[in-house]
């Protein structure tokens, strides 16, 4: 789970995990704090062993420990220290949750603006899917040639698949990006 909090909210975004929890006796969950704590360079996340059977989770833990020891041995500490400090203090935790909410709303707002600017030029194509998608990214219906033109002619970078990072948009660049996409459509 790499984007908790970027969908609807911290709680609702765990719906998939709750389904696993109901259906499975034991499963692993890997979560990342790279995005929702803005700690991309610190490699901070966790592997959770979730089991309805306490003996089973203890056995798994015993088996995982030697793998950790022979693999990376000691995890990086700095990012983990930041996350622990924030989540252990209610004032800091609330500040973090509020910032995460603002970030999600900002991204949603960028989705609406992008869809609106693109639809203005291209009335034949329905760009509502950009608004309805969740999280940091969207796949825009562009082919490899259009993506190359965006990069070479306009300095707008996205993946060959049309995957664009919506979080990279802001009030200053959204018009330019939308106009550039419109030029290659």
Ligand X SMILES: Cc1ncc(COP(=O)(O)O)c(C=O)c1O
| DSSP 8-state assignment for residue 89 | S
Element (H, E) at 92: helix 90-121
Nearer to ligand X, 34 or 109 (CB): 34
Asked if 133 interacts with ligand X (CB under 6 A), we say: no
Write down the least CB distance from residue 44 to ligand X, Å.
Answer: 7
- By CB atoms closer than 10 A (0-12, 13-18, 19+), residue 36 is buried
Inter-residue contact 184 to 149 (CB < 8 Å)? yes
Q: Number of residues in contact with ligand X, rule: CB under 6 A?
A: 4
Asked if 2 interacts with ligand X (CB under 6 A), we say: yes
Nearer to ligand X, 39 or 118 (CB): 39
How far apart (Å, rounded) are the C-alpha atoms in residues 79 and 144?
Answer: 37
Q: Which of residues 81-110 bind ligand X (CB under 6 A)?
A: none
Nearer to ligand X, 45 or 147 (CB): 45
Residues 6+ positions from 83 with CB-CB distance below 8 Å: 33, 37, 39, 44
Asked if 45 interacts with ligand X (CB under 6 A), we say: yes
Of 14, 34, 109, 180, the one binding ligand X by CB under 6 A: 34
How far apart (Å, rounded) are the C-alpha atoms in residues 49 and 63?
Answer: 12
Asked if 14 interacts with ligand X (CB under 6 A), we say: no
Residues near ligand X, by CB under 6 A:
2, 32, 34, 45
């Amino acid at each position: 789970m790499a984007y908790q909090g970027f969908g609807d909210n911290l709680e609702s975004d765990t719906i998939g995990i709750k389904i696993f929890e109901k259906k499975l006796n034991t499963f692993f969950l890997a979560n990342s704090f790279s995005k929702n704590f803005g700690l991309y360079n610190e490699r901070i996340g966790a592997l959770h062993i979730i089991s309805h059977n306490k003996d089973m989770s203890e056995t798994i833990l015993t088996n995982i420990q030697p793998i950790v020891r022979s693999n990376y041995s000691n995890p990086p500490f700095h990012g983990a220290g930041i996350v622990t400090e924030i989540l252990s203090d209610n004032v800091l935790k609330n500040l973090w949750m509020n910032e995460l909410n603002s970030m999600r709303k900002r991204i949603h707002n960028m989705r609406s603006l992008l869809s609106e600017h693109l639809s203005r030029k291209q009335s034949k194509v329905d760009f509502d899917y950009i608004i309805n998608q969740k999280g940091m990214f969207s796949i825009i219906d562009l082919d490899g040639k259009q993506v190359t033109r965006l990069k070479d002619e306009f300095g707008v970078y996205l993946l060959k698949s049309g995957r664009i990072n919506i979080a990279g948009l802001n009030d200053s660049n959204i018009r330019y990006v939308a106009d550039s996409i419109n030029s290659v459509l």
